[in-house]
Amino acid sequence: MSREYEMKFTIEDFDPKKELEIQSALEEVWNIDHFYKEEASGKAQLKAYGECSLSGGEDEEEFIARVYKALVKVNGGNLRLGVEATYLEVTPPSMCHSIGTDGKPEDDTSWLDPCTGW
């Protein structure tokens, strides 16, 4: 059973020379409608959003961990990924998660926690 979501992605601490590769990697796992860049607190942010479905029994946390690992691989090192997931099939509460650049090994996603307002 698939579940329809709107996902808003925010990527920080990435290699600017890898921006196009990061966009391509994200498009491989999610239907991205739009990419844009912003700057917040002196940091470049790559933002993207789009609607698509989670399927195959994958939950939000598993999806975010998979996306993070793919982006880290393309980036050549850790980065910071924020994801706001809005379930579209019922009146949803949004879920927000943040992962990356806190010294944890890039393949360890057991510490994935909800956003705390970064």
Q: What is the pTM of this model?
A: 0.76
Query: 35: domain CATH number?
Result: 3.30.70.260
Q: Give tens-digit pLDDT for 39-72.
A: 988 889 999 999 999 978 888 899 999 999 999 9
Q: Tell me the residue range of the domain where 57 lies.
A: 3-114
Percentage of the chain modeled with pLDDT above 90: 56
How many independent structural domains does the chain possess?
Answer: 1
For 63-74, the DSSP string reads HHHHHHHHHHHH
User: How do beta strands 94-99 and 113-114 pair?
Assistant: antiparallel
